[in-house]
Amino acid sequence: MVSSQRPETRLPAALTQPTKLVGMYEEFVTKNSSSVSQVESALRSLTYIIPVHSGVQLLSLYHDSLVARVISRLPLTIPRPPPTPHARYTKYWISSSSLYHRVALALQMIKYTELLWEMVARRRGEKIRWRVVVLIEGLKALCRLILLRLTNSRPLVNPPLPEREVDPRPAEDEDEAGDWNGMETPKSEKSDSDASWTMPRTGFSMPSLPDASDVSNYLISKVLTADDVKPPKTLLHRVNGMGQLAEVMFILRPLIYALALQKWSGKKKSWTPWLIGFGMEYGCRQLAKKDFRTRVAGGLRGLTGLEREELKKRGWSMGWWTMRGAFYENVTKSWLQGMTRRLKGKPLLDLVGGVIDDYEYLWDNYYFSTATL
Q: Supply the pLDDT for residue 62.
A: 78
Q: Tell me the average pLDDT of the chain.
A: 80
C-alpha to C-alpha distance for 127 and 274, rounded to whole angstroms: 20
Quote the percentage of the chain above a pLDDT of 90.
42
Q: Supply the pLDDT for residue 175.
A: 43
Instruction: Tell me the per-residue pLDDT of 111-150, one tens digit each, with 9 for 90 and over.
Output: 999 999 999 999 999 999 999 999 999 999 999 999 999 9
Q: Supply the pLDDT for residue 28.
A: 73
Instruction: Tell me the per-residue pLDDT of 144-187, one tens digit each, with 9 for 90 and over.
Output: 999 999 999 999 999 999 887 766 665 444 444 444 444 444 44
**Beta-ladder partners of 124:** none
Q: Supply the pLDDT for residue 320.
A: 94
Q: Supply the pLDDT for residue 266.
A: 84
Q: Supply the pLDDT for residue 224.
A: 65
Q: Say which range, 200-209, 213-222, 294-303, has the weakest mean pLDDT.
A: 213-222
CA 179 to chain centre: 26
One-letter amino acid of 233? K
pLDDT category at 65 given cuts 50, 70, 90 is: confident
Phi, psi of 206 (to 5 degrees): -85, 135
| CB of 255 closer than 8 Å to CB of 134 | yes
Enumerate residues 6+ apart whose C-beta is below 8 A from 224.
Answer: none
Per-residue pLDDT, averaged over 228-247, amounts to: 89
Beta strands in the chain (DSSP E): 197-198, 205-206
Inform me whether the pLDDT recorded for 222 exceeds 50: yes
Q: Supply the pLDDT for residue 169.
A: 63
Q: Supply the pLDDT for residue 40.
A: 60
Instruction: Tell me the per-residue pLDDT of 18-44, one tens digit each, with 9 for 90 and over.
Output: 677 767 776 777 767 667 676 666 555
C-alpha to C-alpha distance for 151 and 247, rounded to whole angstroms: 13
Per-residue pLDDT, averaged over 228-246, amounts to: 88
Per-residue pLDDT, averaged over 351-359, amounts to: 77
Q: Say which range, 179-193, 238-252, 341-355, has the weakest mean pLDDT.
A: 179-193
Buried b (16+ CB within 10 A) or exposed e, 297-325: eeeeeebbbbbebbbeebeeeeeebebbb
